[in-house]
Amino acid sequence: MTTDHHDSRHRFEESLEEVRTGILELGGLVLENVRRMGEALLENRLDLARIVVGADEEIDARYARLEFRVFEIMARQQPVAGDLRFLVASTRILYEIERSGDLAVNGAKGLIRREGYTMPPTIHSLVARLARGSTDLFAQGLEALRGLDPTAAAKIDHADDAVDSVVGELYQMIARNSENMGFDLAIELSRIGRYLERIGDHAVNIAEHVTFVVTGSFPGDGDAATRDE
Amino acid sequence: MEGPVSVARSLGGRAHHNEKPPGVPVFELDDLSVEYGSFRAVDGIDLSIAANEITAFIGPSGCGKTTVLRCLNRMNDLIPSARVLGAVRYHGVDLYGPRIDPVEVRRRMGMVFQKPNPFPKSIYENVAFGPRVTGHQGDLDDLVEHSLRRAALWDEVKDKLRDSAYALSGGQQQRLCIARAIATNPDVVLMDEPCSALDPIATLRIEELMIDLKKEYTIIIVTHNMQQAARVSDRTAFFTVDVKETGDRTGRLVEFDDTGVIFTKPSQKATEDYITGRFG
């Protein structure tokens, strides 16, 4: 083992850490946008909605940079085992984060397009629960990545079930009030429900990818990672 | 006669070796240790090597992977102080049993070394030498052509068979050594770092050849090249070396599994550290 070897391996490990930090920072930006989107919806804050839309450019640029960096590390270091799992999972986690960012932007754009929503109080409180639930889920997904916690997926999956049941309630309530609200708003609010639900799903996926990085298998999948060898 | 006959009986002869039921191990190593004088070089290896697969031995220098390879064709017999403990069974026959003829064992196991080592003879004579020595009865020209074709060298040398083997490139010389190794109709091909002296293109040709040859032979390769083990082998054995207070270095087997598992999800941290380059 030469000094050169140690230097290059050290740089390799640094580059892996740089990717992980970069993903967490990107996740932080998206989390902030998801939180802003919820607040904008509930308080009819068009100014906040515009910030959400504006912040997406930086998110997309960082996403593209990180994805390229992962490709480059794969090409130049030919990683295997845990390093390979981490880098493959990184491209997937980046995708989950970037998609969540897009969903936040979609929600914000809807609000801007209609210049605010007038929601019946029951629906408002369901959207509030949903926004809080999805934001919490997304934060938990990032936390799983920060701590490389292979057990996080099970906990998040449980929390995601709760979010899904709120979405169910929301859809029922929208259907019941659709004539009073007008169909346009009913459709718009259904979409909002869908966006928030999907953000929760992406958070669950992030936690599952973390389980794959740490254990080599996806949760509940036995030996999926190597089964089709 | 007793030794070779008993092996041949157990094996049913070379012509039948493809009729073996799948999954029957060619080699079973049972608590194999190797000592040189009072120094134990390799300790307690248990390993089972399947037919018609490529098995790679990987691990840091001094981990005993070449020593274990050389136990398989009794090459360690040539070192006076070497002592082999435990059992090496070849198709169920104890290779170190009292009636086994080491020469017959080596005839059944072709070997290819790190540096191409053709004899200082013509291309033709390099391939014909082994069969002549072992009393080949059929048409020697046919056998030489067949062996060179199997080694993917025929088209490049068919018009210059009487030229010196030294006129060939390094990659061609190594393929000639493979042709020489298979000319005696072996069952197993042992390869000790067969590509370490070759450029990437020549390496690729040898690797393609190995994958082609495993249909007929059981191949065991020692390699320092992780990517090569990942590319060509079906199963990978990872060896490591324990350094004792006395400074003695003893090799042992850490993990043996499907190559896909070793390179995506090794179960031992030492394996992961080695294949990801964090070892030592």
Q: Where are the domains of chain A?
A: 3-227
Question: With an 8 Å Cβ cutoff, are A216 and B265 in contact?
Answer: yes
Q: What is the number of alpha carbons within 13 Å of residue B27 lying toward its C-beta?
A: 33
Q: Select from A167, A166, A147, A144 the least CA-distant residue to A155.
A: A144
Which of A4-8, A51-55, B217-221, B244-248 shows the lowest mean pLDDT across its residues? A4-8
Give the pLDDT band of residue B279 (cuts 50, 70, 90).
Answer: confident
H-state helical runs in chain A? 3-43, 46-77, 81-113, 121-147, 152-181, 183-215, 224-227
* DSSP labels, B178-236: HHHHHHT--SEEEEESTTTTS-HHHHHHHHHHHHHHTTTSEEEEE-S-HHHHHHH-SEE
User: Looking at beta carbons, which pairs linking B132-135 to residues 24 or more positions away fall under 8 Å?
Assistant: B134/B107, B134/B184
Question: With an 8 Å Cβ cutoff, are B275 and A82 in contact?
Answer: no
Phi-psi region of A62 (alpha: psi -120 to 50; beta: other; left: phi over 0): alpha
Closest Cβ opposite residue B265 in set A13, A79, A225: A225
- Shortest CA distance from B226: residue in chain A: A80
For residues B178 and B212, what is the distance between their CA atoms, to the nearest angstrom?
A: 12
For residues A91 and A93, what is the distance between their CA atoms, to the nearest angstrom?
A: 6
* pLDDT > 90? residue B207: yes
pLDDT digit string, tens, across residues A154-210: 889 889 999 999 999 999 999 999 888 899 999 999 999 999 999 999 999 999 999
Q: Select from B180, B130, B109 the least CA-distant residue to B150.
A: B180
pLDDT of residue B248: 87
H-state helical runs in chain B? 2-11, 65-72, 102-108, 123-133, 140-150, 154-157, 170-183, 200-213, 226-232, 259-264, 269-275
Closest Cβ opposite residue A81 in set B227, B263, B279: B263
The pTM (predicted TM-score) of the whole model is 0.82
CB A105 within 8 A of CB A40: no
For residues B162 and B149, what is the distance between their CA atoms, to the nearest angstrom?
A: 17
Q: How far apart are the first and last CA of chain B?
A: 49
Sign of the dihedral defined by the CA atoms of residues A6, A11, A14, A20, in that order: negative
pLDDT of residue B253: 97
pLDDT of residue B72: 96
Which of A133-147, A210-224, B229-243 shows the lowest mean pLDDT across its residues? A210-224
pLDDT of residue B244: 85
Give the pLDDT band of residue B11 (cuts 50, 70, 90).
Answer: very low
Q: Contacts of residue B261 in chain A, CB cutoff 8 Å?
A: 226, 229
Question: With an 8 Å Cβ cutoff, are A81 and B226 in contact?
Answer: no
Q: Contacts of residue B277 in chain A, CB cutoff 8 Å?
A: 5, 9, 12
List the single best residue of A80, A88, A217, A223 to mutate versus B (max B Cβ within 10 A).
A80
pLDDT of residue A5: 64
For residues A61 and B174, what is the distance between their CA atoms, to the nearest angstrom?
A: 50
What is the arithmetic mean of pLDDT over B151-164? 96
> Could you count the other beta carbons within 10 Å of the beta carbon of residue B267?
12
Give the pLDDT band of residue A4 (cuts 50, 70, 90).
Answer: low
pLDDT of residue B228: 94
* pLDDT > 80? residue A87: yes
Give the pLDDT band of residue B13 (cuts 50, 70, 90).
Answer: very low
* pLDDT > 80? residue A223: no
Question: With an 8 Å Cβ cutoff, are A81 and B264 in contact?
Answer: yes
Say yes or no: domain B2-117+181-275 is CATH 1.10.1040.10. Answer: no
Give the pLDDT band of residue B4 (cuts 50, 70, 90).
Answer: very low
pLDDT of residue B135: 86
ipTM: 0.74
> Could you count the other beta carbons within 10 Å of the beta carbon of residue A196?
30
What architecture is domain A3-227?
Answer: Up-down Bundle (1.20)
